[in-house]
Amino acid sequence: MENKPDFRILRIKNVDVRTIPTTEGNFPSKIYSIDTGLAEAIAMFQALVSRNNKGVEVLLDDVNKKNPEAFMETYYLGYGHKSIGDLADMTLFFEYISMLAAKAIQDYELYRGQESSTRYIDFSKQPILNPLGTIEGSELQEMQRRFYLYVTGKVIEHLKRKYPLKDKENEKMYNRAINARAFDITRSFLPAGTSTIVAWTGSLRGFNDRLLWLRHHPLEEVKLLSYKLEDLLISLYPNSFNRKRYEDTENYQDKISEGYYYHNPESERLLIIDGLNHETIKRYSWLLNSRPEKTELPEWLKSELGIIEVEYLLDFGSFRDLQRHRSLHQRMPLLTTEIGFEEWYLKQLGELNPELRTEAETHLEDVVNRINNLNAEKTVEQYYIPMGYMVSGKFSATVPSAVYVAELRSGRRVHPTLRPLAQEIGNYLREKGIRVHVDESPDQFYLERGKDTIEKRE
């Protein structure tokens, strides 16, 4: 008999919260599931109405006469259609996983969830994953943690001098706004191996489909997570999950992982490739140009107006925000030090105190030298590289999706290194005859950032 995962069960009222440690080697992660345990039965009951019109109350009575296991054995396995899995959701939390593993989980167009924000949270005490398990790797990461802690304190100090608290301003909100602005700058010095927490709500079918990709990911951390996740899902829902493998499919996924998963930099500048249907854009001119602010274009325009492909440079920290847009078809970039460190971060330090910029540049030189001495594979080096380094990314977007991203990500609450890309996309669409409400306001400190919080009511 197969061993079941060793769960520790917590509770939220009547809902089980199961946690399974996935610790193995140098990866101290955990997975939590929050679920009623009835997702399969709820999904099957919805599907049942497609094969039976007795009425909801009669069907419910039939279900209640059986225990959940018997109900599932009677119907779910015999139906054999993946769409049933779309009808049931569950929520998982991944704790102590790297920023890189977080991106792997979220590299999925149906992903729904949240992640701890480096723009609002102090990450100085978060564990940093050292996949090499070497003293040199640990020392490099701890050096980066110390610098992040040091520079954050200095930036907060200088920001308070530059933007002092004014009369009648809320001090609590002011301090939150100052901290948020500081983290905007200093998160760039956190290595991508820094751990985070990711929430993922999805359908049973979605988890099932995604397991294939996760277990063939280039990173060992992600593969390990996929195996432990599979154990958890089989234990919770044995009628929906199994370890069946198809050799040809598995081999094909291996080839994708080895040669195609990461986007190879093809351009070191912004490049927009026009795949738009210009005649159709002219035909819908009124519809495209009379749209008010904060109003989305009709969904059906996605199939009629063509697409644009965008190749861009962006620091990895801000790429994490762009990747959250599920309507974009995105490639995962490889994080390296080759393209360089985003100038904006260094400029902010220099404007606050020129000595801070000099210290940061010296620190980064030391970091790069130490990374080169690790003699690690490029994929593994990512764990030791600060998130302020640039990546070469690529995505394709329909017009409604591109308009949405340009408007939302050009807003002043968005990170200042991402806003210019959104503004460029918006301006490009304008030139093609499509109205876009781009926010062109300058990057600056503002108190309202202090409202972007979740806290207990007083």
List the chain domain ranges.
Answer: 8-130+192-259, 262-451
Structure-model confidence comparison of residues 237 and 71, the more confident one: 237
User: How far is Cα 80 from Cα 161, in angstroms, rounded to an integer?
Assistant: 65
Confidence of residue 84 (pLDDT cuts 50, 70, 90): low
User: How far is Cα 339 from Cα 388, in angstroms, rounded to an integer?
Assistant: 11
User: How far is Cα 184 from Cα 190, in angstroms, rounded to an integer?
Assistant: 12
Q: Which of 12-21, 240-249, 398-407 has the weakest average pLDDT?
A: 12-21
In sequence order, what E strands does 248-389 have?
262-263, 271-276, 306-315, 329-330, 332-333
User: CA torsion 169→171→172→176, rounded to 10°?
Assistant: 80
pLDDT value of residue 27: 83
Q: Which CATH architecture does the domain made up of 262-451 adopt?
A: 2-Layer Sandwich (3.30)
Exposure on the CB side of residue 65, measured as CA atoms within 13 A? 7
Instruction: Report if pTM > 0.95.
Output: no
User: How far is Cα 300 from Cα 227, in angstroms, rounded to an integer?
Assistant: 39
pLDDT value of residue 266: 60
User: How far is Cα 359 from Cα 356, in angstroms, rounded to an integer?
Assistant: 5
Cβ atoms 219, 101 nearer than 8 A: yes
Confidence of residue 11 (pLDDT cuts 50, 70, 90): very low
Same fold for the pair 8-130+192-259 and 262-451: yes
Mean pLDDT of 260-282: 85
Mean pLDDT of 228-250: 88
Confidence of residue 104 (pLDDT cuts 50, 70, 90): very high
Residue 9 has pLDDT above 60, yes or no: no
Residue 77 has pLDDT above 60, yes or no: no
Confidence of residue 385 (pLDDT cuts 50, 70, 90): very high
pLDDT value of residue 173: 87
Distances from the Cα of 148 to the Cα of 142, 367, 434, angstroms: 10, 13, 42
Mean pLDDT of 380-402: 96
Q: Provide the residue count of the chain.
A: 458
User: How far is Cα 428 from Cα 406, in angstroms, rounded to an integer?
Assistant: 10
Could you tell me the fold of the domain covering 8-130+192-259? Gyrase A; domain 2 (3.30.1360)
Distances from the Cα of 342 to the Cα of 35, 202, 388, angstroms: 42, 34, 6
Structure-model confidence comparison of residues 36 and 191, the more confident one: 191
Residue 196: which H helix or E strand, with range? Answer: strand 195-203
Residue 451 has pLDDT above 70, yes or no: no
User: How far is Cα 242 from Cα 258, in angstroms, rounded to an integer?
Assistant: 25
